[in-house]
Amino acid sequence: MIPGTAEYDVDVTIDQREVDDLLAVTPADVSAADELTFAKNVFVPLTTACRYTCTYCTYFDAPGEASLLSPEEVRDVVRRGADAGCTEALFTFGDDPDDRYTRIHDQLEEWGHDSIHSYLREVCELALDEGLLPHSNPGDQTREQMAQVADVNASMGVMLETTADVDAHAGPRRKSPGQRLHTIRTAGELGVPFTTGVLVGIGEDWDDRAESLLAIRDLHERYGHVQEVIVQNVVPNERSSFEQPSVETMRRVVAMARHALPEDVSVQVPPNLSPTRELLDCGVDDLGGVSPVTDDHINPEYKWPALRELEDIADEAGVPLAERLPVYERYLDGSGEWVSERVRRAIEDVEPSGA
Q: What's the pLDDT score for residue 355?
A: 46
What's the rounded mean pLDDT across residues 138-165? 96
Going by C-beta distance under 8 Å and a sequence separation of 6 or more, which residues neighbour residue 111? 70, 71, 119
* Overall residue count recorded for the chain in this entry: 355
Q: What's the pLDDT score for residue 64?
A: 55
In this structure, of 56-65, 159-168, 234-243, the range with the lowest mean pLDDT score is: 56-65
Contact 134, 152 (CB under 8 A): yes
Contact 150, 157 (CB under 8 A): no
Q: Is the pLDDT of residue 101 over 80?
A: no
Q: Is the pLDDT of residue 185 over 90?
A: yes
Q: What's the pLDDT score for residue 51?
A: 74
Q: Is the dihedral of CA 245, 249, 250, 254 positive or negative?
A: negative
What's the rounded mean pLDDT across residues 227-255? 90
| Of residues 306 and 327, more confidently modeled | 327
Q: Predicted confidence band at 173 (pLDDT cuts at 50, 70, 90)?
A: low
Q: What is the dihedral of CA 337, 340, 341, 345, to 10 degrees?
A: -120
| Of residues 306 and 73, more confidently modeled | 73
| Of residues 227 and 309, more confidently modeled | 227
Q: What's the pLDDT score for residue 237?
A: 66
pLDDT tens profile 339-349 = 999 999 999 98
Greatest mean pLDDT range, 38-47, 169-178, 199-208 = 199-208
What's the rounded mean pLDDT across residues 3-21? 95
Give one word for 279, left, alpha or beta, with left for phi > 0 and alpha for psi -120 to 50: alpha
- The DSSP annotation for 44-83 comes to EEEE---S---TT--S---TTT--B--HHHHHHHHHHHHH
Q: What's the pLDDT score for residue 294?
A: 57
**What's CA 242's distance to the chain center, in Å?**
21
What's the rounded mean pLDDT across residues 51-73? 72
